[in-house]
């Protein structure tokens, strides 16, 4: 069981958190040896090995290490270095050559891959999760086998980049196809802590920018713990727009997994499970639910988009004359700016031009009312005003204010003045900006009305 936890959180909430973070920010997977073991090992047969068993088998193949107990809870990198010294003495070979022999032996052992049924099952699950990146401490190519044609293997010396459309799989401790890249001895681990080491600086930044889902990994490597610490306590000047919890650790508990997740003192969410497959199935279901919601939303946005592009006389009339209709359209554009802003700018310009045309008809002062209400709604309802919309609305606001009057004067609208008096408070939060903008473009009427 997980100790020193401070708060519970429901697993349903955690699933929603993962889904939201992948949509709004990015989701990264950090995968350890437990992942390969969960996929490949059967009750009667262990294919993928833990690090102690891997090191023990490599020593057997090199005919060295009988004096070591690989099951003791000791520093395995230190044990690897001692193993290479023993091999050097036994074979009368240089220490560096023995380190290379150990790495080659390890790379030959780590040739395990999932069967076809397992591969297809997990390929579908990982494709649904669709992480932005994957980091693994494993030497094997199990993850690559689950994402054929969708992933790019990266060795420790590689930059953490991949072609567009591919998921980068960064082998933090080396890749079995490049034995020299394998991190196994004490010296290898010490090299990771050099100040100019790429991984030393990349990991904290990546952890800061992402929600990290850890599968089959026990948070045991010092350099990974350091990266998490740096992301939380060193890079504190950056705004964190995502969740306050940056790490979710899926922990294997074959007996009685807790019904809820726990949050430890470092803010790590602990999810206990007796099956990584079951966890990924639950996560995939949550993603499928959200995908259906997104599909329905896209259909709604497509209808709004088509409506704006078509700009039919009926749509323009409704937008100009009906406040409720106008607020619905502006609400959609405000919430889904990236999808609708371009057609909305053109639509808004058509609506304003239509109303200015209506003002040319004698006595049609209601058109001035519409223009003022339109620009006031846009300025007031938008959270973040696009520059192109800013100029269009402020220019029209200045122009329409030139036609308002306190008295009934020919060519002036006292009714529009009443609307301005009732609504001008809506611009209080933007008054300083509007005044500066008006001075820059010599919008005389707006300057006069603001002060």
Q: What was the pLDDT predicted at 1?
A: 39
Q: Are 150 and 140 in contact (CB under 8 A)?
A: no
Per residue in 57-67, pLDDT tens?
999 999 987 77
What's the whole-number mean pLDDT along residues 411-428?
Answer: 83
Per residue in 344-356, pLDDT tens?
999 999 999 999 9
Provide the percentage of residues in the chain whose pLDDT is more than 70: 87
Spell out the domain ranges in the chain.
Answer: 5-48+112-288, 57-109, 311-450
Pick left, alpha or beta for residue 92 (phi over 0 → left; psi -120 to 50 → alpha; otherwise beta).
Answer: left
Q: Which two tokens stand for residue 99?
A: 């380190």
* CA dist 187 → 77, 99, 191, 318, 393 (Å): 8, 10, 6, 73, 65
Q: What was the pLDDT predicted at 4?
A: 53
What's the whole-number mean pLDDT along residues 354-359?
Answer: 92
Per residue in 175-218, pLDDT tens?
999 999 999 998 888 777 666 567 767 777 887 888 999 998 87
Residue 127's pLDDT band (boundaries 50, 70, 90)?
A: very high
Per residue in 93-114, pLDDT tens?
999 999 999 999 999 999 999 9
Q: Decide yes or no: CATH 3.30.420.140 for domain 5-48+112-288.
A: no
What's the whole-number mean pLDDT along residues 353-366?
Answer: 83
Provide the percentage of residues in the chain whose pLDDT is more than 90: 55
pLDDT at 2 over 50: no
Q: What was the pLDDT predicted at 448?
A: 87
Per residue in 277-301, pLDDT tens?
999 999 999 999 999 998 999 999 9
What are the strands of the beta sheet with 269-273, ordered from one edge? 5-9, 261-264, 269-273, 247-252, 211-215, 27-31, 133-136, 167-171, 151-154
Per residue in 66-97, pLDDT tens?
777 777 656 888 889 999 999 999 999 999 99
Q: What was the pLDDT predicted at 22?
A: 87
What's the whole-number mean pLDDT along residues 353-371?
Answer: 85
Q: Which two tokens stand for residue 390?
A: 């800013």
């Amino acid at each position: 069981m997980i100790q020193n936890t401070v708060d519970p959180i429901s697993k349903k909430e955690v699933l929603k958190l993962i889904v939201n973070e992948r949509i709004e920010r990015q989701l990264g997977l950090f995968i350890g040896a437990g992942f390969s073991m969960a996929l490949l090992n059967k009750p009667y047969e262990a294919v993928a090995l833990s690090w102690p068993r891997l090191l023990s088998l490599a020593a057997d193949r090199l005919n060295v290490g009988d004096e070591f107990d690989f099951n003791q809870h000791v520093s395995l990198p230190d044990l690897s270095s001692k193993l290479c010294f023993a091999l050097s003495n036994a074979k009368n070979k240089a220490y560096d050559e023995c380190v290379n022999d150990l790495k080659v032996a390890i790379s030959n052992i780590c040739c395990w891959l999932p069967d076809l049924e397992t591969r297809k099952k997990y390929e579908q699950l990982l494709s649904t999760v669709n992480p932005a990146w994957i980091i693994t401490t494993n030497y094997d190519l199990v993850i690559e086998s689950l994402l054929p044609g969708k992933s790019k293997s990266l060795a420790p010396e590689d930059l953490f980049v991949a072609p567009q459309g591919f998921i980068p799989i960064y082998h933090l401790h080396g890749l079995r196809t490049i034995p020299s890249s394998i991190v196994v001895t004490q010296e290898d681990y010490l090299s990771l802590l050099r100040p100019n080491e790429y991984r030393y600086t990349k990991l904290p930044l990546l952890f800061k920018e992402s929600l990290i889902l850890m599968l089959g990994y026990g948070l045991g490597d010092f350099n990974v713990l350091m990266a998490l610490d740096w992301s939380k306590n060193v890079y504190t000047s950056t705004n964190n727009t995502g969740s306050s919890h940056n790490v979710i650790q899926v922990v294997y508990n074959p007996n009685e997994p807790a019904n809820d997740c726990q949050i430890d003192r470092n803010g790590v969410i602990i999810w206990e499970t007796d099956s990584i497959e079951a966890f990924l199935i639950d996560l995939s279901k949550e993603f499928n639910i959200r995908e259906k919601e997104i599909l329905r939303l896209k259909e709604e946005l497509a209808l709004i988009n088509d409506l704006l592009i078509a700009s039919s006389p009926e749509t323009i009339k409704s937008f100009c004359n009906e406040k409720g209709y106008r607020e619905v359209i502006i609400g959609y554009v405000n919430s889904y700016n990236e999808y609708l802003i371009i057609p909305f700018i053109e639509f808004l310009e058509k609506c304003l031009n239509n109303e200015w045309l209506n003002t040319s008809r004698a006595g049609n002062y209601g058109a001035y009312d519409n223009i003022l209400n339109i620009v006031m709604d846009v300025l007031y309802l938008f959270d973040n005003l696009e520059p192109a919309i800013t100029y269009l609305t402020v220019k029209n606001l200045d122009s329409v204010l030139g036609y308002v009057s306190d008295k009934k004067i020919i060519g002036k609208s006292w009714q529009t003045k009443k609307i301005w008096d009732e609504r001008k408070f809506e611009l209080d939060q933007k008054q300083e900006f509007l005044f500066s903008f008006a001075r820059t473009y010599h919008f005389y009427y707006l300057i006069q009305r603001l002060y």
